[in-house]
């Protein structure tokens, strides 16, 4: 399996189909990255590679980053 195929398997990217703005597109990319990383953290915790507390802390940090991304990119209307 090539490096490109491995990357696509581990980090799938999906087309954005919402209302296009650069901010929406960027937030969507951030949201997809968040979901992928959460999935990996969950798999590591389920497999016993990291503790539940470590998984929680990592997810909490990712959530803070996503909230900041939303605040910076998407206006409250």
Choose among 65, 14, 54: nearest CA to 73. Answer: 65
Helix (H) or strand (E) holding 53: helix 52-73
6-64 pLDDT tens trace: 666 666 667 888 889 999 999 999 999 999 999 999 999 999 999 999 999 999 999 99
pTM over 0.95: no
Q: How far apart are CA 69 and CA 64, in angstroms?
A: 9
Q: How far apart are CA 50 and CA 58, in angstroms?
A: 10
């Amino acid at each position: 399996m090539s490096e490109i195929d491995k990357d696509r398997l581990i980090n799938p990217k999906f087309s954005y189909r919402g209302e296009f703005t650069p901010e929406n597109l960027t937030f969507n990319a951030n949201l997809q990255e968040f979901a992928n990383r959460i999935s990996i953290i969950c798999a590591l915790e389920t497999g016993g590679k990291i503790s539940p507390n470590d998984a929680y802390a990592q997810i909490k940090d990712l959530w803070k980053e996503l909230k900041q991304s939303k605040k910076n990119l998407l206006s409250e209307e």
